[in-house]
Structure 1
Amino acid sequence: MTRLAPADDINTRTSILATGARVMRTEGEALLLFAASLDERFVQAVETMYAVKGRIIMSGMGKSGHIAAKIAATLASTGTPAQFVHPAEASHGDLGMITRDDVVVMLSNSGETSELSDIIAHTRRFAIPLIGVASRPDSTLLKAADIALVLPAAPEACAIGMAPTTSTTMTLALGDALAVAIMEKRGFQPSDFKTYHPGGKLGAQLLSVSALMHTGDALPLIAEDTPMGEALLVMTAKSFGVVGIVDAHGKLSGIITDGDLRRNMDGLMSHTAAQVMHKGPLSVRPDALAAEALGVMNDKKITCLFVVDDDRAPVGLIHIHDCLRAGVA
């Protein structure tokens, strides 16, 4: 087990906590200032990025480059094609990645980063829209940009006021604000999000019932007038511990579970399915999230749900084990 170094004394601990709180307050205050300063240029940036025919090209050097790469990933994951182009690599051939159909978003706290010059010149030469983000309105970057997004004057959070802290936090938040505004303008839905996040925990949470449900011959279904002897055979053969009952119109009218069998042991084999079934069983739609179905099963302490269409005709069955195997929790 890793041994953690203890604080030397109470004064050291208090000092560390005070530093952490000061940094967060400094950056939080800067974000509030930035939010209040957003204007028509932010709207223009969103509209320009939304209308892009090609890709959003994010670029920046150093810390700004790391932020730019993260923003590119956020845009791509929310339905806006985007990629990061390193400004130094652009000068050695990667300018070919930037086309006339693209929009370039360039980040630089000072706006004077020399490595950005070749990309700036490239956008001007081929009339590629350039959105600049910097803290100095009169900087080379913002003067060249079609849309200039100015970071408000705010102190860096470090003790010497030089390490990129507040400035990178504001730039990152700006990227999130742009991505979310474009996302909402596009009407991005959870089903769209699933397309770009098929793997991992997030992908599992966005799985639909239709992706996990059993269909066709696997479904344990019988008619209302089916003798219980036959019902038991179907229930055993399908191995779900339940059997669904459909009426003359093919709609799900009831369900028989192990509990229903125990409650009707007296004369069970003389009954029909309709006489034993639990009427109006819980069900779920195929387009519902599997997480929603799992929540119902956990809440009602049941192990499966029939999946029905708009007319309550059974089209599938989802079992709690299907959800757990897929990582839905």
Structure 2
Amino acid sequence: MNKKIVYGIIATLLVVLAIIGVNFYQKVFGNAVHKDGAIYIKSNGTLTEVTQQLSNFIDAPENFSWLAEKKKYLTPKGGKYVLKKGMSLNDVVNLLRSGNQTPVNISFNNQDTIEKLAGRISQQIEADSLSLVNAMLDAAFLNTNGFTEKSALGMYIPNSYEFYWNTSAEKFRDKMLKEYKRFWNNTRLNKAKDLNLSKEDVTTLASIVQKETAQKIERPIVAGLYLNRLKSNWPLQADPTIIYCIKQEKGQDFIVKRVLNKDLEINSPYNTYKNTGLPPTLIAMPDISTIDAVLNYKKHDYFYMCASVDNIGFHDFASSLAQHNRNAAKYQRWISEQGINR
């Protein structure tokens, strides 16, 4: 055979091999991910499901499936995985195979019930709301850690926390218990002791203060007022506890715009018009700022407060019943003018 022909064949083969090599390299190591983003792999997720999610980030998901099989990535590890524009398929497979997931920041505040809290958390991690409720209200867990179904909400301190997305309901609950114990450090415990209150008492009072005013600047004043009543063995007469009682009877979605005299007769240990002292447990989830407002309450001689007509959203405080009656009459006239009956 003519040497030129042989050389030509060899050259052609080399070119073909070079093209195949370049294509293979590009297929495996070339830029594949065309945008930044993240995928969320379920704890029992399948490779097919992973490939479907990746189809939003790569143009040839079948190439990913091929490479995943070659690299023995067959059983996905659950979690959130962040993809960067320009990553190769090899980068993606290595990331997913390593299980090096990215944590998520979850947050919650002002959830009035365990069920509402579970619903909020289930929007941010893999665990569903039912499994979260079951874990949070597990009788053995509550008994071991000194909580009841009514007081369990107090274990969850509103804030932002870092979790892995595929955290189970039980692990979420257990970590929140650790955060609760960390929150109640010696400084806070000593301040509670100075008030002759337990940490549970502080949380209960804070939940009332939280519902009484949305104004952070007022909360230390309101806390001081309730502490004045407690020290004098007065009933707290806190409307938020009456609203809590009404919602216990009529459902959490029932809207109360005005507390009526008949509501004050509700027979419940949470009715602070009929009972002295604090109610048995918290009535809502207080913010950290509100808990600290109780622990660092403002000292004064106020025993009465009434929603302000002149400064909407705030309260008028009084030391005497006569002044309070004037404030209350002014408010009642105003609220009737607004046509608010319930």
Structure with the bigger percentage of strand: 1
Instruction: Specify if TM > 0.5.
Output: no
Q: TM-score range by the shorter chain?
A: under 0.3
The normalised TM-score by structure 1 is 0.21
